[in-house]
Structure 1
Amino acid sequence: MSEPRAIVIGCSAGGLNALERLLAELDTALPATVIICAHTGSSDVELLCELLSRHSRLPVIEAAEREPAHVGVVQVAPSGYHLLVEHDARFALSVDPKVNFCRPSIDVLFTSAADAYRDTLIGVLLTGANQDGARGLADIRRQGGVAIVQDPGDAEVATMPQAGLDIAGADYCVPLNDLAPLLNRLCIR
């Protein structure tokens, strides 16, 4: 893998707690953009950004159409739209049909980010109650990126990380407490 330029993170049930714990430990010198797709069930992602900001050492904002993926910033997929990363590392929003019963879909984000970042991408699949993200994680690995899965035994809901392991496999399978140190180590050399 080349030096990481982006980290994509997907989660569902139990994700807020996992994201709060993860973001609290990410190094402020992280030389990568962080992009999150979380199934919240809410029509407004601003509350999620506000809650994550209380714990994150990096700024947390809602990703917006045609805006660039900023290094050292956490950008969250807006509610009701698929979030895609274009080849110029700018965001695109889509109202295409739901994928895995979800919009935004983790698979859509992971696959588009894999196409844009190739071997400079890290994909992280956390706790959740469906299989969204598993196929996208496989795409990340196919493009030469790194796949990290939360240990299903450590997840609040094991379905999503287990699907990631079953469908994509993983370069690392770690408990949540070890995730931020691993990301810091992979990104800051």
Structure 2
Amino acid sequence: MTHCEALIIGGSAGSLDVLLKVLPNLSASIAFPIVIVLHRKPGKENLLTYLLSSKTKLCVKDIEEKETLKPSVIYIAPPNYHLLIEKDKTLSFDSSEKVNFSRPSIDVTFESAADVYAENLVCLLLSGANSDGTKGLQKVHRNGGTTIIQNPASAIVGFMPEYAMEHVAIDLVLEPEKMATYINQLVK
């Protein structure tokens, strides 16, 4: 079994559909935090949190600056800020330049999480239309963490996971229907 202290999920175009399939099947007893970083425009931030919380037994919340990650909680990254995970496992925002045309950048969050959690990190990259997430997955791999992508063939927009597969040693390629089962068997 894979040892997991944090799960970071990144995605862009088409990834919300995957989350709506995965979240209803997650166990309420997950013993690690889940952080979701999606490319989205500012406005109606609470709508995404409301939608996702209606689909899962876990607590879903918008991230507050300097908040400490807690087990069994799904954290939603805000639009228009990069999300960093600090050494003390708190969350911080950064409004620096876009990375891969995106803010929040999946790379920024994956890379900061890799520094904190090393081999105890699991990162999952979903559907999307640019290369964001690939550099972050490279660092996760170098630090001993687990790298997972959505099967590009099952993605609404397969470019993001396909690009990662071409440039990173991917540990696992999953169909959306298999993701919850995999996540539920992760142990802290």
Shared fold per TM-score greater than 0.5? yes
Is the Cα contact below 8 Å between 1:115 and 1:143 reproduced in 2?
Answer: yes
Paired AA for residue 11 in structure 2:
C
Structure 2 equivalent of residue 47 of structure 1? 47
CA distance in 2, matches of 1:145, 1:44: 33
CA distance in 2, matches of 1:62, 1:107: 20
TM-score (norm 2): 0.96
Paired AA for residue 74 in structure 2:
V
Structure 2 equivalent of residue 92 of structure 1? 92
CA distance in 1, matches of 2:16, 2:97: 25
Structure 1 equivalent of residue 21 of structure 2? 21
Structure 2 equivalent of residue 66 of structure 1? 66
Structure 2 equivalent of residue 33 of structure 1? 33
Aligned identity (percent) is 38
Is the Cα contact below 8 Å between 1:62 and 1:76 reproduced in 2?
Answer: yes
CA distance in 2, matches of 1:51, 1:2: 29
TM-score (norm 1): 0.95
Q: Which is further off, 96-105 or 53-62? A: 53-62
Is the Cα contact below 8 Å between 1:20 and 1:56 reproduced in 2?
Answer: no
Is the Cα contact below 8 Å between 1:83 and 1:91 reproduced in 2?
Answer: yes
Deviations 1:32-75 (A, max 9, x none): 10001001223342111111111122111011111001110000
CA distance in 2, matches of 1:151, 1:74: 23
CA distance in 2, matches of 1:31, 1:177: 21
Query: Are the structure 2 counterparts of residues 44 and 168 from structure 1 closer, same or farther at C-alpha, using a change threshold of 3 Å?
Result: farther
Could you tell me which runs of 5 or more consecutive residues in structure 2 were left unpaired when the two chains were aligned.
none
Deviations 1:5-44 (A, max 9, x none): 1000001001111111111111111111000100122334
Is the Cα contact below 8 Å between 2:122 and 2:148 reproduced in 1?
Answer: yes
Structure 1 equivalent of residue 169 of structure 2? 169
Q: Count residues in correspondence.
A: 188
CA distance in 1, matches of 2:81, 2:153: 31
Task: Give secondary structure in 2 for the equivalent of 1:123.
Answer: strand
Could you tell me which runs of 5 or more consecutive residues in structure 1 were left unpaired when the two chains were aligned.
none
| RMSD across aligned positions (CA) | 1.4
Deviations 1:66-124 (A, max 9, x none): 10011100001111110000011000100010000000000000000010111111000
